[in-house]
């Protein structure tokens, strides 16, 4: 039995990525507290929040496959949140300059009808160039990456900040690991190459 797909996210970046699979879906922003627990490492935080985001929409969408995802970046074991402002973005990039930054992206798919849930974490590592203060200021002024963990957009000019990227799926860095997602969806009988495996989204 097929189910409609629901993306538990208000992120336009995740919506754009999910659209690549060619599957009909709806999206809604889950109400979750993203505060890390005491001593909670970045990978555990991303996994917990991805699961909680999917669960947060279960009551409102009781017969859906709900996709939750959350990304946490860390540099020298310190979690980097979304900067939210120009000054914080500059400070983050100064911290990342010449350093290795690891992005942990939690992914969870919940069948809200049966309660079955699959979850996992994908990692992607970014090696930053040694950046001057002027380069950082110029980049932040051009892209204003205030809503991005790590203060850059890899799908834009952010690529010039890096020496090397390591990971199995570049989409993990943007916020939705599609290769892992396709594998998870297959466990629920969903195949992007067979549209009959997803219930079409009803017109609103």
Q: Which of 175, 199, 21, 176 is nearest to 112 (CA)?
A: 199
Q: 175 and 11 in contact (C-beta within 8 Å)?
A: yes
Task: Fold for 5-197, please state it.
Answer: Maf protein (3.90.950)
Q: What is the pLDDT along the chain (204 residues), one digit of tens a residue?
A: 578 999 999 999 999 999 999 999 999 999 898 889 998 999 999 999 999 999 999 999 999 999 999 999 999 988 988 899 999 999 999 999 999 999 999 999 999 999 999 999 999 999 999 999 999 999 999 999 999 888 998 888 999 999 999 999 999 998 999 999 999 999 999 999 987 888 775 544
Structure confidence at residue 204 (pLDDT)? 41
Structure confidence at residue 203 (pLDDT)? 44
Q: Assess whether 194 carries a catalytic annotation.
A: no
Q: Domains of the chain: which residue ranges?
A: 5-197
Concatenated DSSP letters of 91-132 = HHHHHHTTSEEEEEEEEEEEETTT--EEEEEEEEEEEE----
Is 191 strand, coil or helix? strand
Please report which helix (H) or strand (E) contains residue 26, including its range: strand 25-28
Residue 34: how many CA atoms within 13 Å on its side-chain side?
15
Please pick, among 33, 43, 70, 194, the residue that the annotation labels catalytic. 70
């Amino acid at each position: 039995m097929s189910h409609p797909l629901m993306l538990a996210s208000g992120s336009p970046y995740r919506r754009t990525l999910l659209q690549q699979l060619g599957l009909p879906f709806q999206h809604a922003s889950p109400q979750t507290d993203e505060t890390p627990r005491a001593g909670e490492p970045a990978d555990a935080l991303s996994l917990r929040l991805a699961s909680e985001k999917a669960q947060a929409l279960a009551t409102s969408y009781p017969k859906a496959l709900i996709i939750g995802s959350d990304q946490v970046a860390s540099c020298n074991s310190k979690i980097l949140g979304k900067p939210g402002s120009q000054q914080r973005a500059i400070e983050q990039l100064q911290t990342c300059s010449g350093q290795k930054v690891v992005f942990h992206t939690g992914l969870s798919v919940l069948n809200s009808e049966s309660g079955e849930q699959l979850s996992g974490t994908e990692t992607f590592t970014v090696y930053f160039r040694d950046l001057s203060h002027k380069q950082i200021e110029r980049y932040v002024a051009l892209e204003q990456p205030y809503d991005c963990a790590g203060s850059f957009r890899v799908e834009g000019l952010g690529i010039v900040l890096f020496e090397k990227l390591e990971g199995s799926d570049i989409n993990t860095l943007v916020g939705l690991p599609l290769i892992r997602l396709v594998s998870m969806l297959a466990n629920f009988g969903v195949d992007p190459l067979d549209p009959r495996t997803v219930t079409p989204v009803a017109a609103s």
